[in-house]
Structure 1
């Protein structure tokens, strides 16, 4: 006789949770889940809609600390143990100072621990001991250059770069286009390739392109989920992705 038949019901398994604040136009929630262990949930909220394309001005709008803080409050009302601001451009557009202001605002709004996508990328590069990178982005040139400047503030130099010049519907970029973008960005001096934008699909490209190019591929969504799970002492799911080999319990940097 089963426990249910005897009137003894099993306890629900314990689950962990990460809060996630994303821009209103985020289309890749499902990709974020691919890095998750089966017992960790994402509690996702979006910033308010406004009518614009992905430009420097757009990034500044979705990076307003009051907007992000409001999102943090909505997910920390539950069981989120840490909150992720999953927007690359929104977390690098104001440089290092802006990224660190966002983390402070997220903590002040109630997050026990907080990380932004751009902060996660820096954390990933530090964990791998990398200081020279190529940058691959779907953005306009103006936004792409701001990413290079942001990384430089953390002592990371840009050895090469490539950009698609897009300002909308980035989630529709095919794997083939993204793979070619990454190849074009590569440079002999680059120790790794940073692929920006949380709306750019990358999960299935990371392992094969690392094998092809012989260096780590650090993508926005990968770094965000890795850093968030690291704060739970957990490893992200993903085979043959260099970043995911970093121990989950390694000491966290203060960015």
Structure 2
């Protein structure tokens, strides 16, 4: 007796342009429903220097063209540059230039993580935002400026306090402590910047503990990409995804 094997299900492709050192692929997949596939392509490397130098090098429009073409070649219907610092370091004009470069390279729709974060914070109706991040001071100041330009009152901007080389291996314990330390009573939301920081399992319990929405870089990345396709991200009890 022949058995009929059903599937595979038709897939919707989401293109992720990630920095050369991005290592949170699995975390991004956790927000994705079964009918969506992530196509991930990485940028080339960046020159040696501090994190401001590195982010600035990866902010150039030429950086995203080749990986955008790669994810579009396999059917991406939206492309997002999954790096917060690389997309905010050039300000709003730099962020817009990156999106235009992805469109020019064939992306049907183009987004960035920093732009996604702004949309996510507006969706949770944030006005006064406590920001936590792993950057050195100068890059942290650029993040504050970017969010202020977008209309938010940044009530605190708290760094992780780890050497740059250790950020890529930071775990939940370090990130949870950073979020708690960075919260302020007058903040109505917390933003966790940097796609290198793992946050999936922290969001809901820390929202319950601190009593306010928490938007994270990786969460906002997937949420915005799927929203552009009228699809929903999956994350139990996460405020952003329940709105």
Normalising to structure 1: TM-score of the pair?
0.91
Structure 2: tracts of 5 or more residues without a match? none
Alpha-carbon separation, structure 1, partners of 2:72 and 2:50: 28
CA RMSD of aligned residues (A): 1.4
Which stretches of structure 1, 4 residues or longer, exceed 3 Å deviation after superposition? 9-12
Q: Secondary structure at the match of 2:76?
A: coil
Identify the match of residue 206 of structure 1 among 199, 203, 210: 203
Q: Which residue of 2 aligns with 1:177?
A: 174
Q: Is the contact made by 2:47 and 2:54 (CA closer than 8 Å) also made in structure 1?
A: no
Contact 2:203 / 2:214 at 8 angstroms: preserved in 1? yes
Among residues 152, 157, 162, which one is paired with 1:161 in the alignment?
157
The match for 1:187 is 184
1:43-82 counterparts in 2 under 5 A?
43-52=39-48, 55-82=51-78
Instruction: Kindly indicate whether the alpha-carbon contact (under 8 Å) linking 2:132 and 2:193 is maintained by their aligned counterparts in 1.
Output: yes
Describe the superposition over 1:143-200 as per-residue Cα deviations: whole angstroms up to 9, x where unpaired: 1111110001110110112102432231211211111111111112211000010011
Secondary structure at 1:235 match in 2: coil
Per-residue CA deviation, residues 49-71 of structure 1 (Å, 9 max, x unaligned), is: 23536511100111110111221
Alpha-carbon distance change, 53 to 221 in structure 1, aligned in 2, over 3 angstroms: farther
Q: What residue ranges of structure 1 are gaps of 5+ in the alignment?
A: 247-255
Counterpart in 2 of 1:132? 128
**Is the Cα–Cα contact under 8 Å of residues 229 and 235 in structure 1 kept in the other structure?**
yes
Instruction: Say which is worse superposed, 9-18 or 192-201, in terms of deviation.
Output: 9-18
> CA contact under 8 A between 2:46 and 2:54: conserved in structure 1?
no
State the aligned residue count. 242
Are positions 1:14 and 2:1 aligned together?
Answer: no
1:2 aligns with 2:23: no
Question: Helix, strand or coil for the counterpart of 2:9?
Answer: coil
